[in-house]
Structure 1
Amino acid sequence: MRRIALATLLAITAIAGSAGAQNTPVTLVVPYAPGGTIDVLARVLGPALSAELGQTVVIDTRPGAGGNVGAAYVAQQSRPDAQTVLFTGAALSSSVSLSSLSFDPVRDLTPVLGMGAIPSLMVVSPNSPYRTAAQFLAAASARPGTVSYGSSGPNTGSHLAGVLLAAATGTELLHVPYRGSGAVYPDLIAQRIDTLLDIMASSIGQVQQGAVRAIGITSRERSAVLPDVPTIAETVPGYAFETWVGLFVRSGAPEESLRRLEAAALRAMQAPAVQERLRLSAAQPIPADRAGFAGYFREDVDRWAAMVQQGRLQKGE
């Protein structure tokens, strides 16, 4: 009788523990300021993920240090139980080589879901002589160090896209940093700088209004949103730059918890509201499952490490 009673007690405890975990809210940590692309996607994904998990999902905004404040919180202070989820972007992979971090994103965070990747547009003034990426690169090759591109600042996406382009073509481009992409456009339109590689979610409005002209897109394939804009890869084979977004948790979470979160996130990503927001962001698919996204993330980490080793980027620049 005592053995039966003990077995019953253990079963009840296990059921209560499972129910307790499912009643605990899931925290979705967004390491960027409200209103940005990742924040908007998080607020659409949250309800869909909540429905799939059967748990409340709360958004915890922790901006700072280019996304590293929120990432450090998940990597170091959250419990390793897959209940606190980091929803972040591509800056996490470059920060491994370019920032002084208190944590190791590869060791301390486990990728769970790759949600998508937003390409950038190569834009020029409507009055620019460059009507194609090939013309721009030909000028850069003929006049090393004088053909310029603006950026939102050192080591931001618009800077890194230009570094990759210079590396892929063996050209020397003049980098002109600004404080945010909005500050670049007046000088770009006035032709004081030659081009800008700006994330499509930000630049597409400028293109559609006729303020600038798009001469290339950094994705591997043309975008259905702007099908007439050729990929830069059509001129520079193999070139691609994408601002991905995805989910991570603190490493050490139980495998069962990871499988449950992954399955729920994959289903949530297919919700009509989430798919529509991805479409409006011009996002393109990337490996979504845990294993595929982990490989994708690691390749991105290695790419920026190679740029530092080649002397094209510097830590803390």
Structure 2
Amino acid sequence: MKLLSTKSLAIAFAASVVSMSALAQNWPTKNVTVVVPWPPGGPSDIAARPWAKQLTEGLGKSFIIDNRAGGGGNIGTAAVVRAQPDGHTLLITSSAPIVINPSVYKNMTFDPLKDLAPVSNLLRVPLVLVAHPSVPAKNLKELIAHIQSKKGQFSYASSGAGTPQHLTGELFNSVQKLNMTHVPYKGSAPAISDLLGGHIPMMFDSTIAIMPHIKSGKVRPIAISSAKRSPLLPDVPTFAEAGIPAVESYAWYGLFAPAKTPAPVIAKINAETIKFMKSPEFEKIRADTGSDYVGDTPANFTKFVQAESAKWSKVAKQSGATVD
């Protein structure tokens, strides 16, 4: 009886492996909903829409972008968490709901590290510290001295509480003990508008959003948060070059599936995504946004997400940043 039981288990296991392999081979068997938990036209769409277009053309099923905004990305992300884990509901999002929101929102309905399966990073965009031309500082050392001279009466803007822009500002604030006041806006556009008008002196924003205003000379770039200089801003030093290596930060955008999606399905989605990321169309997107190539395996992307979660949890705790 014991031998029969072991044999039966082996047969059942083999059948399940064959079944999952068949599921992966046939994926997608129907149209795929791709939730972007932000309004249309935002940075996440820059990666999501061309990705969906290529997979639609290559796999014969429609990949439909569903912009489901609200709650700092939590509403759309929660919808994916609740979806069937069969590869037909996916998530493309910025880092906020994955590695920041759990530390700044008091009431989260899901745990991103447990309830989502990372597939691949798509874009990793550095943030630029920019100042209004009226700020009497041409470099980071002068800016720090200017902020310190204000003795707590200096503000910086971000595209919203709990965003990478906000937490990068808090990281800078904490590392340099600057005592700046955070002013959150509802998106990059209104924050940039107030910066251009001189109503707020400084902000962090992604190269995607701020580059046109740097090129026009309406804002002054002070430093960039990447590990090395950006080809888009070759004359702008990194924080590390300016003596503050702890301020390294990116606005990144990744692809996720619901937890418990079969590993072979995840592997196929990843393979199709990497194929897209090596296409000429995506090469141009990377060049235009200043992103490094960040296509990766699900295992490596999982490690990256875990490290980012630990990093921003520490920053949130030190700064006391909260949203609700």
TM bucket by the smaller chain? 0.7 to 0.9
Write the letter of the residue equivalent to 2:132: S
Tell me the CA shift for residue 272 of structure 1.
1.2
- Please give the secondary structure, in 2, of the residue aligned with 1:171: coil
**Which residue of the other structure, out of 23, 36, 55, is the alignment partner of 2:42?**
36
Alpha-carbon distance in 2 for matches of 1:53, 1:234: 45
Task: Determine the structure 2 residue equivalent to 1:166.
Answer: 173
Task: Determine the structure 2 residue equivalent to 1:110.
Answer: 117
Comparing 88-97 with 118-127, which one deviates more in the overlay? 118-127
Task: Determine the structure 1 residue equivalent to 2:274.
Answer: 266
In structure 1, runs of 5+ residues without a counterpart are 1-9
Tell me the CA shift for residue 251 of structure 1.
0.6
Write the letter of the residue equivalent to 1:227: P
- Please give the secondary structure, in 2, of the residue aligned with 1:23: coil
- Please give the secondary structure, in 2, of the residue aligned with 1:229: coil
Write the letter of the residue equivalent to 1:219: S
Alpha-carbon distance in 1 for matches of 2:91, 2:317: 29
Task: Determine the structure 2 residue equivalent to 1:74.
Answer: 80
Task: Determine the structure 2 residue equivalent to 1:239.
Answer: 247
Alpha-carbon distance in 2 for matches of 1:60, 1:181: 21
- Please give the secondary structure, in 1, of the residue aligned with 2:240: helix
Contact 1:27 1:57 in 2 (8 A): yes
Contact 1:31 1:88 in 2 (8 A): yes
Contact 1:124 1:213 in 2 (8 A): yes
Tell me the CA shift for residue 281 of structure 1.
1.8
In structure 2, runs of 5+ residues without a counterpart are 1-14
Comparing 106-115 with 209-218, which one deviates more in the overlay? 209-218
Give runs of aligned pairs for residues 150-299 of structure 1, distance below 5 A: 150-189=157-196, 191-235=198-242, 236-286=244-294, 288-299=296-307
Task: Determine the structure 2 residue equivalent to 1:302.
Answer: 310
- Please give the secondary structure, in 1, of the residue aligned with 2:230: coil
Alpha-carbon distance in 2 for matches of 1:234, 1:145: 26
Task: Determine the structure 2 residue equivalent to 1:7.
Answer: none
Q: 1:186 to 1:111 in 2, by over 3 A?
A: closer
- Please give the secondary structure, in 2, of the residue aligned with 1:107: helix
Q: 1:271 to 1:109 in 2, by over 3 A?
A: same
Q: Map Cα deviations across residues 137-188 of structure 1 (whole Å, 9 max, x no partner).
A: 1233444412321223322333222101112223222223334333334543
Contact 1:97 1:308 in 2 (8 A): yes
Task: Determine the structure 2 residue equivalent to 1:56.
Answer: 62
Task: Determine the structure 1 residue equivalent to 2:108.
Answer: 101
TM-score, normalized by length of structure 1?
A: 0.87
Percent sequence identity is 31
Contact 1:216 1:232 in 2 (8 A): yes
Q: 1:55 to 1:136 in 2, by over 3 A?
A: same
Alpha-carbon distance in 1 for matches of 2:302, 2:24: 28
Comparing 43-52 with 291-300, which one deviates more in the overlay? 43-52
Contact 2:47 2:122 in 1 (8 A): no
Task: Determine the structure 1 residue equivalent to 2:6.
Answer: none
Write the letter of the residue equivalent to 1:280: D
Tell me the CA shift for residue 111 of structure 1.
0.4
Write the letter of the residue equivalent to 1:85: L
Contact 2:120 2:297 in 1 (8 A): yes
Contact 2:92 2:255 in 1 (8 A): yes
Write the letter of the residue equivalent to 2:278: Q
Tell me the CA shift for residue 51 of structure 1.
4.7
Q: Map Cα deviations across residues 233-259 of structure 1 (whole Å, 9 max, x no partner).
A: 212113112110010001111121111
Contact 2:129 2:223 in 1 (8 A): yes
Alpha-carbon distance in 1 for matches of 2:286, 2:210: 16
Contact 1:187 1:193 in 2 (8 A): yes
User: How big is the alpha-carbon RMSD for the aligned residues of Structure 1 and Structure 2?
Assistant: 2.4
